[in-house]
Amino acid sequence: MTTDFFTPVVDDAYDYGSIAAANSLSDVYAMGGQPFLALNIAALPPQLPTEVMANILRGGAEKTREAGVVVAGGHTIQDKEPKFGLVVIGFVDPRRAMTKSGARPGDRLVITKPLGGGVTTTALKQQLTTPDELNEVVGWMKRLNRDAGLLASRFELRGATDITGYSLLGHAFELASASGVGLEFCFDQIPLLSGALKYAREWTFPGGASDNALFFEQYITFDPAIEDYERMLLFDPQTSGGLLLSVPEEKLPAFLAAADEISQPAWEVGRVVNGQDIRVVRTCGTA
């Protein structure tokens, strides 16, 4: 059982509801589970037009239907700023569950969505994004982690988390700490949204990126060749981000091939190592 809700990250009410639902469902997929029931959580201003409120709820309902999940009710209150999300209940076989403590030295690190959602949606609030950049970030945020979770379960992976508000490196730190391992990321292999580097250079990061850096940076060692704005992209909070998977090396080729067969994006971005250090290098194999 899990829950999540947040204020709007985009202007379109339907997209907001859809993104919020996909994000709420993600924690179940990140454990290799299948969600089956959800409850709405909504806090809505009374002056908000009825059509806008309806579109938020419709976006959430249609995304949960896509996931095969029943919305069985929920609760709504009045508030000054819209907030929406779900309580989600799912099933997982405890013998096959993926957890943050399941990574092992030698595993390869794979992520299933590009980074840069936070910096891009902040640029949207500043009216800097192009229509193509907006469509791109909304499309990724609305994408369910269902297929990625099913594939991970099929290959009996044990180490995983989803990449959300604590950023790639924040959630990676949780994975490393729970598993008692170190991690090495290869910056040049990490996928980014098309506008992410541009907006990172302009430093349009949300406040959460600085919060993440303030807390987690002490645990990370960066290659000096990586610029400050590039580092901050790895602390960029993601809304409805992808999964971070720890894939045994011997399973990686078949896993990536199977992902390609079902059109599930998957990028190898690093490896699990002995020790407790988290390192980010420009290119794998370099200091």
Instruction: Yes or no: say if 13 and 56 are a contact pair by the CB < 8 Å rule.
Output: yes
CA distances from 176 to 23, 226, 266 (A): 23, 22, 20
Average pLDDT over residues 13-41: 97
Residue 41 shares a structural domain with residue 157: no
The pLDDT value given to residue 56: 98
Average pLDDT over residues 37-48: 97
Range list of H helices, 49-130? 50-66, 117-125
The pLDDT value given to residue 287: 43
C-alpha 149/C-alpha 112 separation (Å) is 10
CA 251 to chain centre: 23
Asked whether residue 69 is assigned to any structural domain, the reply reads: yes
Asked whether residue 196 is assigned to any structural domain, the reply reads: yes
Average pLDDT over residues 63-85: 97
Instruction: Yes or no: say if 267 and 189 are a contact pair by the CB < 8 Å rule.
Output: yes
Write the pLDDT tens digit of every residue in 236-274: 999 999 999 999 999 999 999 999 999 999 999 999 999
Residue 26 shares a structural domain with residue 123: no
Q: Which CATH number do you get for residue 65?
A: 3.30.1330.10
Residue 78 shares a structural domain with residue 191: no
| β-sheet bridge partners, residue 6 | 84
User: How many structural domains are present in the chain?
Assistant: 2
Residue 59 shares a structural domain with residue 121: no
Asked if residue 171 has pLDDT above 90, the reply is yes
pLDDT band, residue 285 (cuts 50/70/90): low
The pLDDT value given to residue 159: 97
Average pLDDT over residues 197-212: 96
Instruction: Yes or no: say if 184 and 220 are a contact pair by the CB < 8 Å rule.
Output: no
Residue 201 shares a structural domain with residue 68: no
The pLDDT value given to residue 284: 85
Residue 133 shares a structural domain with residue 202: yes
Average pLDDT over residues 20-29: 97
C-alpha 37/C-alpha 1 separation (Å) is 10
- The percentage of residues in the chain with a pLDDT greater than 90, rounded to a whole number, is 98
Asked if residue 286 has pLDDT above 90, the reply is no
Asked if residue 1 has pLDDT above 90, the reply is yes
Please name the helix (run of DSSP H) or strand (run of DSSP E) that holds residue 271, with its range, or none: strand 267-273
pTM for the complete prediction? 0.95
CA distances from 186 to 154, 209, 230, 270 (A): 26, 20, 12, 5
How much is the mean pLDDT over the chain? 96
For the purposes of burial, counting CB atoms within 10 Å of the CB of 252, is it exposed (0-12), middle (13-18) or buried (19 or more)? Answer: middle
CA distances from 145 to 140, 169, 272, 275 (A): 10, 19, 22, 30
